[in-house]
Amino acid sequence: MPGCGQCIHCVESPGGLERALPGLGILSSAYGSVRGDTALCQLHDQFVRPGAPCAGFAERKENPENSAER
Amino acid sequence: MATVEASDAGSARRPAFSEFYLKEDWWAVWLGLAIVLLTVALYSTGNTFIKALAVNPGGIKWKSLDDITKHFAANYTMYAVQFVAWAAIFGLSSQVMGIKLAKFIPGFIIIYLLSLVMFTISGWVDAQKYNLEAPLLALVFGLVVANLFPLPEWFSAALRVEYYVKLGIVLLGATFPLTLIASAGPIALGQATFISILTCLTIYFLGRAFGLDKQLCAVIGVGGAVCGVSASMAIAASVGAKKEHLYTSVTLVVVWALVMILVLPFVSQALGLSAGVAGAWIGTSEFADAAGFAAASAYGKMAGNEDAAIKAFTLMKVIGRDLWIGIWSLVFAFIATMSWERTELGTKPGAGEIWRRFPKFVIGFFIASAIVTLITSGMSPDDMKKSAQPDLLKPMGSLRAWAFLFCFLSIGLSTRFRELKSAGLKPFIAFTLGVAVNVAAGYYLSVHFFGDYWSKL
C-alpha cells in the first residue's frame, strides 16, 4: 500500500503546514531541516512520516509540483 | 476541522538532493558562506566594498536630527545597494523554496525600512541610558503593531523569523574563533544537556501526573527543553502527535519565550550579571534561537559587551542544545515504538533520523568559523586591531546585526495573540513549572557553578 506522501489527506508542503498551523512560523518554520519530512494527515489530524501506511489512504491525482505555495 | 487544500500537499517523490534547495537551513549555509568568502576575498585584496555595504546607523551616536541627515546623505547609495542585495538573496532563495517573490518583496521593503528606523533610534547617543536597544525596540514595536492593527496576508510572506536568524548564525560563525568553540564547547554541552534532560523530564512527568496524553507531554517536554516549537515539530511524527498538541506547544512556547525576552535582560541587569554569565543563563533558559538571540543581544548592549553575551548564548544554545535535536527525536521514536501503544500511522525509527533532523545551518556556522580562524590565525595582535577587526570582522558583525534585526522585527510582527489557541490549564501548569526549574537550574549553573568561566568570555 502506498504511504501517506501520496495521499490526498497529507499536507507535506511547508507553506501548507504553516497555513494549517497558524503561529508555527512565529518561533519556528516548516521550511527548516528539523521538520525533516514530517507531514500532517488531515484525516486523523495527526503528524506522520510520508511512508506511513494507512487504511484511509486515498491516492492524490493532481501534480502538487504545479501548485504555488504562498 | 480546518483543512488545507490537497494541492498544498507536497510530494514524497522529490529527488533526495532537493533538500539542498528546498530547506532554509541549506540556503542559510550557501548564502552565509558566500558572504563570508566574498568578504574574505575582498579583504585580502584590500577592497573595502563589503565594509561600505555593511553600513548600519546603529553605531552613529547621533545627538541631533542634523547628525542623522548627514549620515544618510553620505550613505544613501550604499543603503540602496544593501537593500537590493538583501532583497535579492532572501527573495530569490525564498522563491525557490516556494514563497512567491511578488509577495515577499513588498513585505521585505517594509521590514527593511522598519529595521532602518529601529537601528537609527538605537544609534542615539543616549539610547543605552533608556534601554532603547534595537532588538527590544523591534520586538515591542512589532508586537504592538501586529496586535493593534490588521496586517495584510501578503505581508506574512516576508516574516521569515527562522530564515533570518539562521543566516545570522552562519555569519556569527565568522566572528566566532574555532578555538573558543573547542575550549568552551564541552562545558556548554555539559551544562545544556543536564538542564535539557531535567526540564524535559519535569514537564513530561508533571504532565503525565496531571493525566495528559503521552504524546502531548513529549511534545511540550522537548519544546521547553530543547528548541521550542521546532523540537516539538521534530518529534511530532515519531510520537504520533495530534495537531492540537502542536497548537498547545506553539502557544506555550511563544508566550513564555516572549516573557523571557522581555524579562531576562532586565533581571540580569538588576542582578548585575556580566554579559557572558547572562548570555549563558539566557542560553539555558530560552527555547527558541530567535527569541534567545533577541534577549542575549539586548542584554549584551545594555551591559556594554554584546560580543560576550552573544558568544555565551551561542555556545549554550546552538552548540549545547540545537545540535542534539535529532537524537531527542530518535529517543522519543524508540520510546513510542517500544513501549507506547502502536498507532495505525506509526513508522519504525532509524538512525537516519539524527541526520534528517539535524539543524544544517550549524554546519555553516562551523565552516564560517574555520575559514576566518584560518585567515586570522597568523596575524599579530596589531594586525588584528588595525586591519582584521575594522575591515573584516566588524563588517560581518554588522551584516549579522541586520539579519538578526529582520528576525526580531518578524517575531513581533508575526505574533498575533488572538490567533493563538488556548493551551489548557494542565499543560500550562506543567510547562510553566518546567520553565521555572529550567530558569532556576540554569541560573545556578551559569552564575554559581560555571560563573567564573562564563564571566571571562
Tally the residues of chain B.
457
Q: Which of A7, A9, A69 sits opposite B99 (nearest CB)?
A: A69
Q: Angle at the Cα of A68 (from A63 to B4), degrees rounded to 5?
A: 80
- For chain A positions 13-52, those within 8 Å of chain B (CB to CB) are 13-17, 19-42, 44-52
Tell me whether residues B8 and A49 touch, CB distance under 8 A. Answer: no
Q: Which of A7, A33, A37, A46 is most worth mutating to test chain B (most B CB atoms within 10 A of its CB)?
A: A33
Q: Which residues of B touch A44 (CB under 8 A)?
A: 344-345
Burial (CB < 10 A; 0-12, 13-18, 19+), residue B29, is: buried
Rounded to a whole number of angstroms, the distance from the CA of B56 to the nearest CA of chain A is 26
∠B439-B440-B445 over CA atoms, to 5°?
A: 100
Nearest by CB to A54, from B11, B98, B344: name it: B344
Contact A40, A4 (CB under 8 A): no
Say which residues have a Cβ less than 8 Å from residue B226's Cβ, sequence separation at least 6: B196, B200, B287, B321, B322, B324, B325, B328
Tell me what ipTM this predicted complex has. Answer: 0.90
Contact B247 A41 (CB under 8 A): no
- A33 and B19: CB-CB below 8 Å? yes
Q: How far is residue A64's CA from residue B320's CA, in Å, rounded to a whole number? A: 38
Nearest to A64 among B11, B23, B343 (CB): B11
Q: Is A60 on the interface with B (CB under 8 A)?
A: yes
Residue A39, strand partner residues: A48
CA distance B243 to A47: 7
Q: Which amino acid is at B237?
A: A
Q: Do residue A42 and residue B353 have CB atoms under 8 angstroms apart?
A: no
What's chain A's length in residues?
70
Residue A68 has pLDDT above 50, yes or no: no
Output the 3-class SS for chain B. Answer: CCCCCHHHCCCCCCCHHHHHHHCHHHHHHHHHHHHHHHHHHHHHCCCCHHHHHCCCHHHCCECCHHHHHHHHHHHHHHHHHHHHHHHHHHHHHHHHHCCCHHHHHHHHHHHHHHHHHHHHHHCECCCHHHCCCHHHHHHHHHHHHHHHCCCCHHHHHHCCHHHHHHHHHHHHHCCCCHHHHHHHHHHHHHHHHHHHHHHHHHHHHHHHHCCCCHHHHHHHHHHHHHHHHHHHHHHHHHHCCEHHHHHHHHHHHHHHHHHHHHHHHHHHHHHCCCHHHHHHHHHHHCCCHHHHHHHHHHHHHHHCCHHHHHHHHHHHHHHCCHHHHHHHHHHHHHHHHHHCCCCCCCCCCCCHHHHHCCCCHHHHHHHHHHHHHHHHCCCCHHHHHHHHHHHHHHHHHHHHHHHHHHHHHHHHHHCCHHHCCCCCHHHHHHHHHHHHHHHHHHHHHHHHHCHHHHHCC
Distances in whole angstroms, Cα of residue B248 to Cα of each of A22, B295, B326, B420? 12, 23, 22, 9
For residue A68, the chain B residues in CB contact (below 8 A) are: 98, 100
Which of B159, B169, B233 best probes binding to A when mutated, by most A CB atoms within 10 angstroms?
A: B233
Contact A47 B236 (CB under 8 A): yes
| Beta carbons of B345 and A28 less than 8 Å apart | no
Residues of B in contact with A60 (CB under 8 A): 6, 9
Q: How close is the nearest chain B Cα to the Cα of A40, in Å?
A: 8
Tell the burial category of B352 from Cβ atoms under 10 Å away from its Cβ (0-12, 13-18, 19+).
exposed
Chain A residue numbers touching B230 (CB-CB < 8 A)? 27-29, 32, 34-35
Q: Are A37 and A13 in contact (CB under 8 A)?
A: no
**How far is residue B333's CA from residue B342's CA, in Å, rounded to a whole number?**
12
From chain A, the residues in CB contact with B419 under 8 A are 22-23
A70/B100 CB distance under 8 A: yes
Give the chain B residue nearest A29 (alpha carbons).
Answer: B162
Q: Nearest by CB to B419, which of A12, A22, A67? A: A22
Specify the 3-state DSSP secondary structure of A46: strand
pLDDT per position as a tens digit, A8-64: 999 999 999 999 999 999 999 999 999 988 999 999 999 998 877 788 888 887 545
Q: B357 and A22 in contact by Cβ < 8 A?
A: no
**Host H or E run for residue A40:** strand A39-41
**What is chain B's pLDDT, residue by residue, as a tens digit (457 residues)?**
444 443 344 444 677 788 999 999 999 999 999 999 999 999 999 999 999 999 999 989 999 999 999 999 999 999 999 999 999 999 999 999 999 999 999 999 999 999 999 999 999 999 988 888 899 999 999 999 999 999 999 999 999 999 999 999 999 999 999 999 998 888 999 999 999 999 999 999 999 999 999 999 999 999 999 999 999 999 998 888 999 999 999 999 999 999 999 999 999 999 999 999 999 999 999 989 999 999 999 999 999 999 999 999 999 999 898 888 888 888 888 887 777 765 656 666 677 888 888 999 999 999 999 999 999 998 999 999 999 999 999 999 999 999 999 999 999 999 999 989 888 999 999 999 999 999 999 999 999 999 888 988 7
Closest CA to B1 of A32, A27, A11: A11
Q: How far is B395 from chain A (nearest CA, A)?
A: 27
Q: How many CB atoms lie within 10 A of CB B105?
A: 18
- A70 and B CB contact within 8 Å: yes
Tell me the whole-structure pTM to 2 decimals.
0.93
Cβ of A36 and B243 within 8 Å?
A: no
Q: How many CB atoms lie under 10 A from the CB of residue B161?
A: 26
Partners of B220 on chain A (C-beta within 8 Å) are: none
Chosen for mutation from B1, B5, B8, B414 (greatest number of chain A CBs closer than 10 Å) is B8
Helix (H) or strand (E) holding A19: helix A14-20
What B114-121 contacts at long range (C-beta under 8 Å, 24+ apart), as own/partner pairs, is: B114/B138, B114/B141, B114/B409, B115/B402, B115/B405, B115/B406, B115/B409, B116/B57, B116/B79, B118/B405, B118/B409, B119/B56, B119/B57, B119/B58, B119/B401, B119/B405, B120/B57, B120/B58, B120/B60, B120/B62, B120/B68
Separation in Å, CA of A39 to nearest CA in chain B: 8
